[in-house]
Amino acid sequence: MRNIFAFIRRFSVLLFFLLLEIISLTLLFRYNRFHQAAYMDTAGEITGSIEAQYKKVNDYFHLKKENEELRRRLNEVQNQLLQNFSSPDSTQRIITDSTSVDTSGERRKFLYMDAEVVNNSVTQPNNYFTLHRGSKQSVQPGMVVISANGVAGVVLDVTENFSTVMSMLNKQSRISASLKKTGESGRIEWDGVNPRLVQLRDIPKSVKVQKGDTVITSRYSDFPPGIMVGIIEKVILEKSSNNYLLQVRPANDFSRLQNVFVISNLQRNEQLELENKLKKKK
């Protein structure tokens, strides 16, 4: 017994060092696995409020580009207005359903909510960004985030007023995407190397693919179908498999994210419930 105490006393600093290392590594790997840690709640509120202050200043530097993107998006939406369509046949009537909130709650599948990005990173292998909108403003984990240009990420964790989003530039990110031309779907991943290139896998070699083809979100993803992901930059034939490895240039410039939309899929829970039932039967 005495020897044990003597040992502990002699190596107390080393033991303390090992203890701290174990604590930090546990925090790290647990966080990556379960995507949330209780203490990040308070810390998230504090860092979030500091970041919101920083953003106030930083926003002015990107106003011009942001404005251009919003105008382009507005133009797209304007082209879909009812006034732009007319039919010579008077028996036909064109109507658009323009209710922003569906009161019956039955037909609407996707609900868009705008949010500000207050913190962002692109240099790490696992990138996250923070939105100034949280559970009080009806953001929930699992919702998806797009910007005016295209796909941005998936909400991981929410506090009352802030939420953290796993960016598409994250090695754990998996997004189902498809080729716009032929419709084959694969998955978008990131290898953690170059923030200007993501990888599209699982596209069979039988499909004709060219540099410059457009990649959009697929019908099976959590994202609304048809949202821009990026443009194919390089086609690589993987020798070991039957699939291509496609290098895709994301439509978003992730280092410049400012205003984004959080999309809530109102029918997701119902779909998940049904699919989980099937899993239980197995």
Partner 1 sequence: MSSLLRNIIRLILFILVQVFVLNKIPPLHQYITPYIYYLFILWLPFSMGRSSLLIVSFITGLCLDFFTKSPGLHAAACVAIGYLRPFFINLLMPQQGAEFNYREPSATSLGFTQYVTYVSVLTVVHHTFLFTIQAFQFGNIFYLVLKTLGSTVISLLLVTVIEIIFIRKQKFLTNT
For partner 1, the binding residues (CB under 8 A) are: 12-14, 16-17, 20-21, 23-29, 31, 37, 39-40, 43-44, 46-47, 51, 54, 58, 119-126, 128, 130, 164, 171, 191-195, 255
Closest to partner 1 by CB, 162 vs 223, is: 162
- Give Cα 97 distance to the centre of its chain: 28
Closest to partner 1 by CB, 76 vs 191, is: 191
Closest to partner 1 by CB, 125 vs 204, is: 125
Using alpha carbons, list the distances in angstroms from residue 91 to 86, 87, 88.
12, 9, 9
* Beta-carbon contacts of residue 126 (< 8 Å; ≥ 6 apart): 32, 170, 171, 172, 192
State in angstroms the smallest separation of the CB of 52 from partner 1. 12
196 φ/ψ angles, rounded to the nearest 5 degrees: -100, 5
State in angstroms the smallest separation of the CB of 19 from partner 1. 9
State in angstroms the smallest separation of the CB of 54 from partner 1. 5
Closest to partner 1 by CB, 67 vs 124, is: 124
Closest to partner 1 by CB, 96 vs 172, is: 172
CB atoms within 10 A of CB 115: 21
* Beta-carbon contacts of residue 8 (< 8 Å; ≥ 6 apart): 15
26 φ/ψ angles, rounded to the nearest 5 degrees: -60, -45
Half-sphere exposure of 271 (CA within 13 A, CB side): 8
State in angstroms the smallest separation of the CB of 145 from partner 1. 15
State in angstroms the smallest separation of the CB of 128 from partner 1. 4
